[in-house]
Amino acid sequence: MIWIGDVLVSQGQGGVYNERMLGGARVWDPHRSKLSALYHVGTGIELTPGMRVLYLGAANGTTVSHVADYVDVVYAVEFAPRPMQDLLEVSRRRRNVIPIMADAARPEQYAMLVETIDLLYQDVAQPEQASIALRNCSFLKTGGILILMLKTRSVDVRKEPAEVFQDTLDALTSAGLIVQECKWLAPYHHDHAAIVCTKPVV
Amino acid sequence: MHSYWFGDVVEGRCILFIGDSNAIIDRVQSITPEMDSFIPLEWEQAVLCGACRDRIDYLGRLQEVCIAAAERSIREQYSRKDAELLQMVRTLDEIDTVINLLSERAAEWYVVRHPAFSRKYRRTPAHVLVKTMREKSKGALGKVAGEIEQLAATRTILAKEVSARANDVMPNTSALIGGLVAARLLSHAGGLLLLSRLPASAIQVLGARTALFSHLKTRSPCPKHGIIFQHRRVHNAPREVRGKVARVLAGKLAIAARIDYFRGVPAPEFLDGAQERIDVTGKRSEP
């Protein structure tokens, strides 16, 4: 990851969302992007130029554009038409962003488009976040990484965030994933946790 | 055989799919592989297939197809009849908020200029007060009052359009609860498809989010009605049967929304029975 002092940046064409520029690089704001927040509060995963990424819940393409600056290709899955319009604009200017308008809970809808991936990144506001991640693990190579941004309030508002977090962790480990790192994203994002797992070599 | 967007791979051999981007989109949308036995594609296969020259060419072509597919789905979703109604009713509610806020503020301002003025013991409707303010105030305050009147006129036109559109898009729901309230239900659900998928109990409390979640989290009583309270059948019903009317009405609305989504035309045989059932519930006030 590229840091200028204690500011996380990415190298690429700027002006995507009026982000601040610093020494010709795009500032990656931890308050706006959960992935950037993870790099600030924890270790996260080093994004490398050869990486192929499946990004679930791409939304307006803000974080997607930063990830795309680092890696080979980002397959960006988004369901809603309004943010998709923005994501398309990002894709038209970035050759390595492949926008896919589909439901992340139904990977069979876009299986024909996606290759084997090194990193599965998920940030969806759905109750079934663990099972969505597990279903999409079919694309992940063995030894590949899953970063799950858990929105605990989307799972169940009545439960305590810590309880939801534990349930999700159990679901992931019982499916055979090895948990590497868990971090709450406070103070940047409240009631959001990042879970980093690896798919074991069988 | 494994099917991918560029062709089919059979026992290591690849058969290129021939067709323009529209045909490829149709292909991608129509074939859904079994995920259990699914093998993700290797982009090198596309080269062997003759679909592209190298990795950059591969990604370029794939991106082209994906952008075209997304543009098509967006167009399809926006061309549904409920998409514009959703924006219309949200704009209407927003205009209402703006009118209220501005009127309150202008009234405060007016009172400062006319210390003897008070709204107590006068049944002046808000729009009459705004008119007075416009006529009696010089400068910006008069302009503001004028703008509020303009906005109110726009609101009237928009409300009529919303009603008319709702009668067209959701004839059965509108027949039960009126075009405006029906459109508000649609707006809260996020679309006709989503509304038609909601259970009656959810429709009953749609728009009472704060009360509902405070009920779920604490022991406060659960809300009896949300937006549907705006309909005279619910708010005119005697207090003791209001919850019951809301429940019956919501039940019938859930059915009406489904007829609207799947059939799209008025269903008189359903409406007659539903109207009667709701009216009977509303009258059964004496124990």
- CATH code for the domain of A170: 3.40.50.150
SS (HEC) of B138-190: CHHHHHHHHHHHHHHHHHHHHHHHHHHHHHHHCHHHHHHHCHHHHHHHHHHHC
Interface test with B, best of A55, A96, A108, A113 (most B CBs within 10 A): A113
Gap between the Cα atoms of A73 and B266, Å rounded: 50
pLDDT band at B209 (very low <50, low <70, confident <90, very high): confident
pLDDT confidence of residue B176: 94
Gap between the Cα atoms of A114 and A96, Å rounded: 13
Question: In Å, how far are A25, A123, A147, B39, B64 from A15, measured between CA atoms?
Answer: 11, 23, 26, 38, 23
pLDDT tens digit sequence for B251-269: 999 999 999 999 999 999 9
Query: Minimal CA–CA distance to A75: which of A116, A28, A127?
Result: A116
Model ipTM value? 0.93
Q: Do B62 and A117 touch (CB under 8 A)?
A: no
Question: Mean pLDDT in chain B?
Answer: 90
Collapsing DSSP states into helix, strand and coil, what is residue B235?
Answer: helix
Give A120→chain B minimum CA distance, Å. 14
Burial class (CB in 10 A: 0-12, 13-18, 19+), B69: buried
Residue A194 · residue A150 · CB < 8 Å: yes
Gap between the Cα atoms of A113 and A107, Å rounded: 10
Q: Does B56 touch chain A (CB under 8 A)?
A: yes
Gap between the Cα atoms of A129 and B170, Å rounded: 33
SS (HEC) of B243-267: HHHHHHHHHHHHHHHHHHHHCCCCC
Q: State which residue of chain A sits closest to B214, comparing Cα positions.
A: A158
pTM of the model: 0.82
Give A117→chain B minimum CA distance, Å. 9
- In chain A, residues with a C-beta closer than 8 Å to the C-beta of B43 are 115
Stated as kind and residue range, the H or E segment containing A27 is strand A25-27
Domain with A51 in it = 29-198
**Torsions phi, psi for A75 (to 5 deg):** -90, 110
- HSE (CB half, 13 Å, CA atoms) of B11? 0
Work out how many domains chain A is built from and give that number.
Answer: 1
- In chain B, residues with a C-beta closer than 8 Å to the C-beta of A131 are none
Total CB pairs under 8 A between chain A and B: 86
Q: Which residues does A136 contact at the CB level (< 8 Å), separation at least 6?
A: A54, A56, A104, A107, A120, A122
Query: In the predicted model, what is the mean pLDDT of residues B147-164?
Result: 96
User: Strand A178-184 vs strand A140-151: parallel, antiparallel, or unpaired?
Assistant: unpaired
Tokens of A102: 């589909």
pLDDT confidence of residue B208: 85
Query: Minimal CA–CA distance to A100: which of A40, A38, A51, A56?
Result: A56
Interface of B with A in 64-123 (CB under 8 A): 65-67, 69-71, 73-74, 77-78
pLDDT band at B217 (very low <50, low <70, confident <90, very high): confident
Could you tell me where the beta strands, DSSP code E, fall in A79-198?
97-101, 117-122, 140-151, 178-184, 192-198
CATH architecture of residue range(s) B170-287: Orthogonal Bundle (1.10)
Q: Above 90 in pLDDT, residue B36?
A: no
Q: Does A58 touch chain B (CB under 8 A)?
A: no
Question: In Å, how far are A33, A88, A108, B10 from A23, measured between CA atoms?
Answer: 20, 27, 43, 51
Interface of B with A in 147-176 (CB under 8 A): none
pLDDT band at B86 (very low <50, low <70, confident <90, very high): very high
Query: Minimal CA–CA distance to B31: which of B9, B54, B2?
Result: B2
Collapsing DSSP states into helix, strand and coil, what is residue A42?
Answer: coil
pLDDT band at B284 (very low <50, low <70, confident <90, very high): low
Tokens of A144: 């590949």
Residue A93 · residue A13 · CB < 8 Å: yes
- In chain A, residues with a C-beta closer than 8 Å to the C-beta of B40 are 111, 114-117, 138-139
Asked if residue A187 has a cis previous peptide bond (ω within 30° of 0), the answer is: yes
Question: In Å, how far are A45, A72, A123, A201, B71 from A142, measured between CA atoms?
Answer: 16, 19, 21, 5, 34
B3 vs B36, more confident = B3
Give the pLDDT means over successive 10-residue stretches in chain A (202 positions). 94 92 94 95 93 96 95 96 95 95 93 94 93 94 94 88 94 94 94 94 78
> A167-181 burial, b for 16+ CB within 10 Å, e for fewer?
bbbebbeeeebeeee
Characterise A41 by phi-psi region: left (phi > 0), alpha (psi -120 to 50), beta (else). alpha
- In chain A, residues with a C-beta closer than 8 Å to the C-beta of B56 are 95
Of residues A85, A88, A95, nearest to B59 (C-beta): A95
Query: Minimal CA–CA distance to A71: which of A132, A137, A145?
Result: A145
Residue A7 covered by a domain:
no
Q: Do B40 and A95 touch (CB under 8 A)?
A: no
Give B16→chain A minimum CA distance, Å. 14
Gap between the Cα atoms of A195 and A173, Å rounded: 11
Q: Do A117 and B40 touch (CB under 8 A)?
A: yes
Residue B40 · residue A115 · CB < 8 Å: yes
Q: Do A101 and B70 touch (CB under 8 A)?
A: yes
pLDDT confidence of residue B54: 92
Q: Does A85 touch chain B (CB under 8 A)?
A: yes
Q: Do B59 and A73 touch (CB under 8 A)?
A: yes
Q: Does B217 touch chain A (CB under 8 A)?
A: yes
Gap between the Cα atoms of B32 and B49, Å rounded: 21
Residue B98 · residue B151 · CB < 8 Å: yes
Query: Minimal CA–CA distance to A36: which of A146, A172, A152, A188?
Result: A188
pLDDT confidence of residue B14: 83
Residue A107 · residue A139 · CB < 8 Å: yes
Gap between the Cα atoms of A116 and B7, Å rounded: 17
Q: Above 60 in pLDDT, residue B286?
A: no
Gap between the Cα atoms of A190 and A193, Å rounded: 8
Q: Do B74 and A101 touch (CB under 8 A)?
A: yes
